[in-house]
Structure 1
């Protein structure tokens, strides 16, 4: 997640300071507000603590079990580094995280078990919109997880068709993207419609919202959906290997709502 507060002159961003709190064995990351930007169970730092973060891993259902540990995973918005740690340490994928706020990177390295860069981990201090638009990034990611919010967590910071087009370009053929939609100013319909315009309505799905209001959208670049029996096998494998509630995800995944598909069709005929 990111913060882009401006100073009074408007010349340079003044980054919201990263702070932490702890409760019942869980450490929370904040950015100059009460909003939780991420969490880590102190005794189990590789465990995905927050439910919506767990659901961000739903892309695993779309990949064959033998390929779960393969390829390059990219995170836009570091948060408390939960997804980055999981992809790097648990899945052992080559992992890149892009975070605009340098205080978040420092906090994650000091308090949230984010290791220093190595052969399989790169943390980039950059603006996500600019980074995904770089021509050299095209086709380099097999998995893309997007969780971009400012310190107020009111709505996604990057949420337009141009951004999602760059995200699709970033993915290799068969690549998968998950996006967290959350906030008082967020609109699932608006965001899902933009994503579907770029990826195609048959390549976009969503999960039912969490009780906190996080809706995870999944988009794919040329992925064929396996049959139910295969999905259930994959879910069972994910649960046994990684202790993630993948069978629950199966019950929550749904195609795009009819109203979005109808709007896409209407716009395509005008």
Structure 2
């Protein structure tokens, strides 16, 4: 299989990852390499609003990019064991050499494998507490894995109670297709963040018992995450409240 070329650029103290085009696949602020620089990447950590980290918790990250999510979890969630899925070996090398992602250790395992095949692997069924999906190719016209079977696979690798976050591209025909397939795979248990400035929309998807929680409690949890990690979560609760219908008084999904 022909892999896309990995290229880089720098501007204003920020290093960018590209797949042979000008389109941005990830970014890192050079003076703060462990910061999650892009807003949509920050929102991919929103599973922390609903799951308490604890020893033995398992996270799957489908798509490595610059390793921003990997670095954040490795630094701020020491109880979590992360499995990274990345097909392109050059992305794995560049994440470590150019974006300072840590080498594999007892809390981090990187697999060079196709994410579509990974979610079908029986050894990972009902295995992960949280799954993050950020799969894009050089064209960036929508996720490179978008079928109903893929999202059913994501559902299957989650434990009976789990949370999925997915990076979607809002201004493309792929958005409605992906959203419909996610809804079908997860029985419509989907929340959307407001569109970020770069047209990304992050979906938060739930598996397990019905969730009923007051927005004030979500705001409190978001503040706790911000105080502990520095992640700018202050608008998460209000943004989710505004963006999603029939969630005005409390979150019920």
TM-score by length of 2: 0.90
- Pick aligned residue for 1:85 from 58, 71, 78: 71
1:178 Cα deviation from its structure 2 partner: 0.4
How far apart, in 2, do the equivalents of 1:18 and 1:47 lie? 22
Does 2:24 match 1:36? yes
How far apart, in 2, do the equivalents of 1:228 and 1:102 lie? 42
Partner-residue secondary structure (3-state), 1:88: helix
How far apart, in 1, do the equivalents of 2:122 and 2:227 lie? 39
1:70 Cα deviation from its structure 2 partner: 6.0
How far apart, in 1, do the equivalents of 2:116 and 2:174 lie? 20
Instruction: Deviation per CA, 1:79-114: give whole Å up to 9, x if none.
Output: 101011111222122111100111111111111111
Q: Report the counterpart of residue 267 of structure 1 in structure 2.
A: none
RMSD of the TM alignment (CA)? 1.8
How far apart, in 2, do the equivalents of 1:210 and 1:140 lie? 31
Q: Report the counterpart of residue 262 of structure 1 in structure 2.
A: none
Cα 1:240–1:69, aligned 2, differ >3 Å: closer, same or farther?
A: farther
How far apart, in 2, do the equivalents of 1:168 and 1:78 lie? 20
Long gaps (5+) in structure 1? 1-12, 259-270
- Paired residues in the alignment total 243
Partner-residue secondary structure (3-state), 2:64: coil
Q: Report the counterpart of residue 60 of structure 1 in structure 2.
A: 48
How far apart, in 2, do the equivalents of 1:71 and 1:210 lie? 29
Cα 1:45–1:68, aligned 2, differ >3 Å: closer, same or farther?
A: farther
- Pick aligned residue for 2:14 from 7, 26, 40: 26
Q: Report the counterpart of residue 205 of structure 1 in structure 2.
A: 191
Long gaps (5+) in structure 2? 247-253
1:182 Cα deviation from its structure 2 partner: 1.3
- Pick aligned residue for 1:114 from 84, 91, 101: 101
Cα 1:248–1:70, aligned 2, differ >3 Å: closer, same or farther?
A: farther
Q: Report the counterpart of residue 7 of structure 1 in structure 2.
A: none
Instruction: Deviation per CA, 1:229-259: give whole Å up to 9, x if none.
Output: 321210110111112222301111157669x
Partner-residue secondary structure (3-state), 1:47: coil
Cα 1:225–1:70, aligned 2, differ >3 Å: closer, same or farther?
A: farther
Given that 1:156 and 1:186 are in contact with CA atoms closer than 8 Å, whether structure 2 keeps it comes out as: no
1:187 Cα deviation from its structure 2 partner: 3.5
How far apart, in 2, do the equivalents of 1:43 and 1:96 lie? 27
Q: Report the counterpart of residue 234 of structure 1 in structure 2.
A: 221
Q: Report the counterpart of residue 129 of structure 1 in structure 2.
A: 116
**Greater Rg over alpha carbons, structure:** 1
Q: Which runs of 4+ in 1 moved over 6 A?
A: none
Given that 1:154 and 1:183 are in contact with CA atoms closer than 8 Å, whether structure 2 keeps it comes out as: no
Q: Report the counterpart of residue 189 of structure 1 in structure 2.
A: 176
Greater helix share, 1 or 2? 1
